[in-house]
Each structure stands twice: as structure tokens, then as C-alpha cells.
Amino acid sequence: MRQFQTEHELHRRRRSRNVGLGLVLAAFVALVFALTVVKVRQGDLMEAFDHQPRTSIVPQDEASE
């Protein structure tokens, strides 16, 4: 039977770098998610660019009042 070899130092260092990178990526995803949640909750302030005139910036005609 073949015995398991001890883990090489290179593999330990690579694994620790991978874990660190994974934590950084998870933190980035959490940040983007949090910003998205905040933006969605402030939905009344959002105006999307959909090639339509926005009534909030179109000047009102004095004659129509």
C-alpha cells in the first residue's frame, strides 16, 4: 500500500495565499452587495438612464401652470 506523503511547504504557502485571496474576494462581494442593498432601499432617489426625458430635470413651462 502507498502511504500519504507529508505536505510540501510550497503547497502550504499556496493554500494560505488562496485562502487569503478567497477572503479578499468574499469581502469585495459583501461590499458590492451592501452597496446594492443601500441603493435599492433609496429607490425614490434613483433615476435610471433609459433614453426618456426625466421630469425632475425638464424645466416646467410657466404657461402650463
pLDDT digits (tens, 9 = 90+) for 14-55: 999 999 999 999 999 999 999 999 888 877 666 666 666 666
State the residue for C-alpha cell 487569503: 20
What's the pLDDT score for residue 8?
83
Q: What is the pTM of this model?
A: 0.56
Please state, in angstroms and rounded to a whole number, the distance separating the CA atoms of residues 6 and 15: 15
Inform me whether the pLDDT recorded for 62 exceeds 90. Answer: no
Q: Are 47 and 54 in contact (CB under 8 A)?
A: yes
